[in-house]
Amino acid sequence: MKSLIQKLTETFSPSGYEQDIRNVIRAEIEPLVDEIRVDPLGTLIARKGKVGKNGKRIMLAGHMDEIGLIATHIDENGFIRFSAIGGVYPHTLLGGRVRFVNGVSGVIGGERITDLGKTLTISQLFIDVGASNPKDCPIKTGDVAAFVRPFFDMGDRMVAKSMDDRIGCLVMIEALRSLKSSPHEIYFAFTTQEEVGLRGATASAFGIDPEIGLSLDVTGTGDTPKSRKMEVSLGKGPAIKIKDGGMLSDPRVVQWMIRTAEKSKIPYQREVLEAGTTDATAIQLTRSGVPVGCISIPCRYIHSPSEMVDTKDVQNAIKLLTALLSALISL
Amino acid sequence: MAKTFSLNKKQINLLEKLSQAMAISGNEGEVRSIVLEEIRPYIKDYQVDSLGNLLVTKTGSSKNRLKVMLAAHMDEAGFMIAADDGDGIFRFEISGGIDLRQLPGKSVLVGKEHIPGVIGARPIHLTTSSDRQNKIPLNNLRIDIGPGANTIKPGDQAVFATTFQHVGPSLIGKALDDRLGIAVLINLIKNSPPNIDLQAAFTVQEETGLRGARVAAFTFKPDLAFVVDSTPAKDLPAWDESENLTYNTRLGAGPAIYTADGSTLSDPRLIRLLVQTAEKARIPYQLRQPGGGGTDAGAIHKQAGGIPSVSVSIPGRYAHTPVGLARVSDFLHTIDLLKATLLSIHPEILAQERS
Amino acid sequence: MYDFLPFLKELLSAPGLAGFETPVSEIIKKEWQPLVDEINISRVGSLHGFRRGNSSDPRPSILLATHMDAIGLMVTGIHKGFLRFTDVGGVDPRVLPGQQVWVHATGPKANPPGPLPGWVVQPSAALLPEEFGNNVIPIENLFIDIGLAPDQVQKYVHIGDIVSFAQDPLELNGETISGHSLDNRAAVTALTVCLNELQALKHAWDIWAVATVKEEEGLVGAYTSAFQIRPSLAVVVDTTWAKGPGSDDWNTFPLAKGPTLMWGPNIHPNLHKAFKELAEKLEIPHSVEITGRSSGTDAFATQVVAEGIPTMAIGIPLRNMHTPVEVVSLKDIRRTGRLLTEFVMSLSKDFMSKISLESKNG
């Protein structure tokens, strides 16, 4: 499992440019599913099973894209100005390393800091790829980059960039692998452009037209020094989301998830997240409406280059998702 | 391709009519009428939907045609009369985004009858220098049409009272965003290519949330979409003569192709198609700087299961102010680029996945 | 004539937060059952009541939508016996200190699950960051105290449990009523008045009376019910700002002087005109409400569903919106109900062509 997490998190695919991660995921799941397609916005949709007796059409959504940077201007000395793709915090950038989708690497530098008490803003930062003028610069306006950080296995914990949401994708892949049988028609949707506004999920949910939707994503924790107050902690199990900044889960879906976790003796936490949201917010608005919920993998330092998750939480998330998909559902 | 960038009288008249027409979000009838009058001889049928979008399809003639949606928005940033303070003085709301600092001391036209009015300000004699440091809040601004009986009521629209002019290489007027796009779309309808079904949407309520485009895309369900808008050219000199890093686009550098704005990450296949077409046909083009802003593509691309989309804009200085300024060359090159691009569309474009 | 006050009071005594509308949905379903031909629940919990029209197939249909969800609070954590909480829908923190609430506890000891009384409490200044001083304390620093011993609280309350305001409905002077979710139960009542009046009347169009969910958190019910039903027209009834303490601007409206008819890009201009002409003809007092970008109601959703739906929004003036002491005039509820009834009755089969934007200039 960990080598797959490494492969997933070390792929460079910021929102809008997900082809590389899509190819990695497709190679993993192609032998395991009945049907695969790529929709107009690039979402990878894999179907497993057909609706059996009392079965349901279920959509699972984990987003393949990660936050990144996009070049806005190459200045006269070859330095690259940029803006953010998705929620990038300027204070995580200075000194960082990036890789553009076309393979070029660079470092993030900044203008002179005159007041060490203030963080620089994105407009005061630039990427240095070693060019000296726009003509010899291998990057042009519109090229995109993601952060460079190797996967780091700490045993109980794992750290990488883009755990958000490659870990959600991993949970979906491993649940697919361990799923022995299911009465349901399950659509594993590896969505695009979540970080810029749930755009891939909006389009793909319309195409799939599910009866139930579950997103697999990370959620914050309240277990680090002077963090935002939140009850979710690393190591206490996957979180069953009740509310976040964009949506309220369908209470029936929440109850179904809690019942299943308790029956299968899988540890879980109840989650209320006050900021941030997932693809489920978009899925619930599809067509005539979809009851939705979310399995969250607790994660520290979200949207930094070093996102940390707990190994057992991930394993339990896989167990929970597998259990949910294996049995009939009565909401 | 137009080497001498001049417009004939007919083209100028159309641009003048479009620029001076009054159409704020939700109230686009005047522009819709002008467009219909222009394109009627060239189309079989049309539809006006429940929001006021004008939807037209020009069916092609060759085999294996893709459905290509083209969108340009009819509404402009302007004002809505909110309350009658009496004596010819009206409180107003801003429709679409307008910087408050553009308002004092300007003249406007109000309502169906285009009644002239002014946005006044306290006389300078009665202000202190510290007053003059602060912008006048909307709450203190009023539209004044003069005392006496009048037919204006809350809900009526108002726009800047700018007269359109063609000056040298430039077009100057209000609402160039997006009347220039409308003019481009009219031209493409008159010269529609045989290899596609052209689904033209003259949309409403772009300035207040891309609302018309959302339903137009659902109705059309095209295979792909191009949006023609106007985007700011912030290419003035910086106060300290430093390099201008945030110009967005530059006047005279050609149609601006979008890679990413606040609402859409353009489909890379369509970006490549536009760039390759421009380079092959030697049409100047530029890449709009990624960043904020949005176009109808923001609503279109998420509809109906997803629609590959891209925007192309005519650069314009001073958007959403009484005096927009654009170059004739950019306008004509935009038409050339889109014409050539539409002609080169074939189903193979969508055969490969988005990448 | 239908006496709607008992129904309204029942609605105002029940919780029914956005996302957790079942308690109020059941009350509405019971009231609507005898008034409609079919009643069912949408995939996300909205209540759909259908009345068949009497004209020939294919019949146009009208959607009358009122949201049934209310704002409230939700438990986010348990800290030394005190409950931390967040808001569901927009709650002004300034009305919270000292409020009595019901905590809808689902913990193991709360069996059967039921409401526990609680109070929103504000810690003393020494227990708060110094910079707060005498200012408003943000929600994340307030607590709910349910009076139980700290080691017991865990057994009763779960994270995610919802909390509703405990204010009982109060009849005030001048035929007005105060309560915690008159936004939008006043409108649900007006719609129910309409359904009652239609009992004795015949209408050409099909009618969908819909109590939507989650208006306060994303207009979820409106988008999805409108998509499912695909009506020819949509009329949304919500509440709007009445003149009152701290609320006297041009965009506020007198209490007890009739509903507002909204106008703006969110509203179909010819639908607005039809309603205005009708109100004037029937001498139903009303105001015109200018709404800028959005009406701030479910109408913002219905207008852009699928190919677009001609939409109208009506507002019932309400004081102290989004506090537990909202105030509405009973006369305005009845007037709104009547206006809806008369409008539905006036719909002829060719109404849609009459309001088309096609032939007119703006």
Position B133 confidence tier, pLDDT thresholds 50, 70, 90: confident
Report, as an integer, the average pLDDT of C41-66: 96
In whole angstroms, give the CA distance from residue C178 to residue C162.
22
A72 CA: distance to closest CA in chain B (Å): 5
Which candidate from B289, B354, B355 shows the least CB-CB separation from A141? Answer: B289
Is the Cβ pair C361, B218 closer than 8 Å? no
pLDDT at B4: 57
Range of the domain at B90: 78-160
Q: pLDDT by residue (tens digit) across B183-207?
A: 999 999 999 999 999 999 999 999 9
How many other C-beta atoms lie within 10 A of the C-beta of residue A262?
Answer: 11
For residue A107, pLDDT beyond 90? yes
In a domain, B297, yes or no: yes
Calculate the alpha carbon distances from A261 to A186, B350, C341 in Å.
Answer: 20, 43, 50
Q: Do residues A42 and B354 make contact, with C-beta atoms less than 8 angstroms apart? A: yes
Contacts of B306 in chain A (CB under 8 A): 39-41, 43, 200, 203-204, 206-207
Give which of A288, A292, A329 to mutate to test C binding, by max C Cβ within 10 Å: A288
Q: Give the distance from residue A178's alpha carbon to the nearest chain C alpha carbon, in angstroms.
A: 30
Query: pLDDT (tens digit, 9 = 90+) per residue, B252-271?
Result: 999 999 999 999 999 999 99
Looking at the fold, whether B329 and B294 belong to one and the same domain comes out as yes
Final residue belonging to a domain, choices B121, B138, B160? B160
Last residue of a domain, one of B160, B181, B215: B160
The residue extents of the domains of chain C are 5-70+180-355, 74-165
**Residues B86 and B210 grouped into a single domain:** no
Q: Does B240 touch chain A (CB under 8 A)?
A: no
Residue B1: inside a domain: no
- Domain tally for chain B? 2
Q: Is residue B131 part of a domain?
A: yes
CA pair distance B338, B329, nearest whole angstrom: 14
Question: Does position B3 have pLDDT exceeding 70, yes or no?
Answer: no
- HEC string of B282-321 equals CCCCEEECCCCCCCCHHHHCCCCCCCCEEEEEEEEECCCC
Chains that touch B (3 or more CB pairs under 8 A): A, C
Phi then psi for residue B10, to 5 deg, are -60, -45
Q: What integer pLDDT is reported at residue B235 of this predicted model? A: 93
Confidence of residue A232 (pLDDT cuts 50, 70, 90): very high
pLDDT score, position B56: 98
What mean pLDDT comes out for the span C264-285?
97
- Which of B346, A272, A245 lies closest to C161, judged by CA? A272
Q: CA of A291, closest CA in chain B: separation in Å?
A: 19
Res C359: pLDDT:
61
Three-state SS at A108: strand
Residue B45 lies in a domain: yes
B154 and B179 in a single domain? The answer is no
- Average of per-residue pLDDT across A28-40: 97
Report, in angstroms and rounded to the nearest whole number, the Rg of chain C calculated over CA atoms.
Answer: 21
Our answer to whether residue B206 is catalytic in this structure is: yes
**Domains A2-66+161-326 and A68-147 are alike in CATH topology:** no
Is C290 within 8 Å of B208 when comparing Cβ atoms?
no
The dotted CATH code for A68-147 is 2.40.30.40
Please tell me which residue of chain B has the smallest CA distance to A81. Answer: B245
pLDDT at A300 over 50: yes
Q: Is residue B355 assigned to a domain?
A: no
Of A251, A246, A250, whose CA–CA distance to A281 is shortest?
A: A246
User: For residue B211, what is the DSSP state?
Assistant: H
Q: Among all residues of chain A, which has the CA nearest to that of C85?
A: A272
B260 contact A CB<8A: yes
Closest by CA position to A313, among listed A227, A247, A216, A225: A216
CA distance C296 to A95: 44
Residue C307 has its nearest CB partner, among B52, B205, B218, at: B218
B95 vs C310: CB contact, 8 Å cut-off?
A: no
| In the block, residue with structure tokens 């409400």 | C289
Average pLDDT of every residue of chain B: 95
Query: For C185-206, what is the mean pLDDT?
Result: 97
**Do B182 and B89 fall within a single domain?**
no
List the catalytic residue out of B38, B206, B243, B279.
Answer: B206
Average pLDDT over residues C43-50: 98
Q: CA-to-CA distance for B83 and C289, rounded, in angstroms? A: 10
Q: Reply yes or no on whether the pLDDT at B129 is more than 90.
A: no
Instruction: Return mean pLDDT, chain C.
Output: 94
φ/ψ of C254, rounded to 5, equals -65, 140
> Are residue B71 and residue B190 in the same domain, yes or no?
yes
Interface of C with B in 20-79 (CB under 8 A): none
Chain B residues within 8 A of A41 when measuring between CB atoms = 301-302, 306, 308, 354
Q: Is there a domain that residue B306 lies in?
A: yes
Residue C129's Cβ-count burial label (10 Å; 0-12, 13-18, 19+) is exposed
Over range C13-29, report the average pLDDT: 95
Q: Does C83 touch chain A (CB under 8 A)?
A: no
Say whether B40 sits in a helix, a strand or coil.
Answer: helix
Please choose, from the candidates C28, C22, C302, the residue with its C-alpha nearest in 3D space to the C-alpha of residue C191.
C28
Give the sign of the dihedral formed by CA C193, CA C196, CA C200, CA C203.
positive
Confidence band, pLDDT 50/70/90 cuts, at residue B6 = confident
DSSP β-bridge partners for residue A62:
A190
Report the alpha-carbon distance of residue A249 to residue A252 in Å, rounded.
8
Look up the CATH number of domain C5-70+180-355: 3.40.630.10
Residue B114, domain CATH: 2.40.30.40
Residues B152 and B234 in one domain: no
**CATH number corresponding to A2-66+161-326:** 3.40.630.10
Helix (H) or strand (E) holding B15: helix B9-20
> What's the pLDDT tens digit per position in B11-52?
999 999 999 999 999 999 999 999 999 999 999 999 999 999
**CB contact (8 A) between residue C361 and residue B53:** no
Instruction: Give the best residue of B51, B139, B142, B204 to mutate against chain C (max C CB count within 10 A).
Output: B51
Structural domain includes residue B20: yes
The three-state secondary structure class of A286 is coil
> What pLDDT, on the 0 to 100 scale, is given for residue B1?
47
C144 phi and psi, to 5 degrees? -115, 130
pLDDT of residue B2: 47
Residue C354 contacts B, CB cutoff 8 Å = no
B229 and B312 together in one domain: yes
Q: Is the pLDDT of residue C113 over 80?
A: no
Q: What is the pLDDT of residue C292?
A: 84
Q: Write down which residue in B112, B144, B160 finishes a domain.
A: B160
pLDDT of residue B123: 81
**Interface residue C76 vs chain A (CB under 8 A):** yes
Identify whether residues B181 and B290 lie together within a single domain: yes
Q: Are residues B322 and B345 in the same domain?
A: yes
Distance CA C70, CA C295 (A): 18
Break chain A into its structural domains and give their ranges: 2-66+161-326, 68-147
Examine residue B338 and state whether it is found in any structural domain, yes or no: yes
Would you call B8 exposed, middle or buried from its count of C-beta atoms within 10 A (0-12, 13-18, 19+)? exposed
| Helix C182-198 × helix C330-346 angle, to 10° | 50
Chain B: give the shortest CA distance to residue C298, in Å: 15
What is the rounded average pLDDT of the residues A110-128?
A: 90
Report in angstroms the alpha-carbon separations of C206 from A225, B268, C38, C190.
60, 47, 12, 19
Q: Is C265 within 8 Å of B218 when comparing Cβ atoms? A: no
CB count, 10 Å around CB of B250?
A: 17
C160 CB within 8 Å of a chain A CB:
yes
Lowest-confidence region among A117-126, A236-245, B309-318, C136-145:
A117-126
Tell whether B275 and B306 lie within a shared domain: yes
Q: What angle do CA B341, B344, B347 make, to 5 degrees?
A: 120
E strand or H helix at C154: helix C150-156
| Span C49-72, average pLDDT | 96
Residue C267 pLDDT: 97
Give yes or no: residues B174 and B93 share one domain: no
Global model pTM greater than 0.90: yes
pLDDT in tens, A134-159: 999 999 999 999 999 999 999 999 99
Question: Which CATH number applies to C74-165?
Answer: 2.40.30.40
The mean predicted confidence, pLDDT, of chain A is 96
Q: Are residues B66 and B192 in the same domain?
A: yes
| Mean pLDDT value of segment A161-182 | 97
Instruction: Give the ipTM of the model, two decimals please.
Output: 0.93
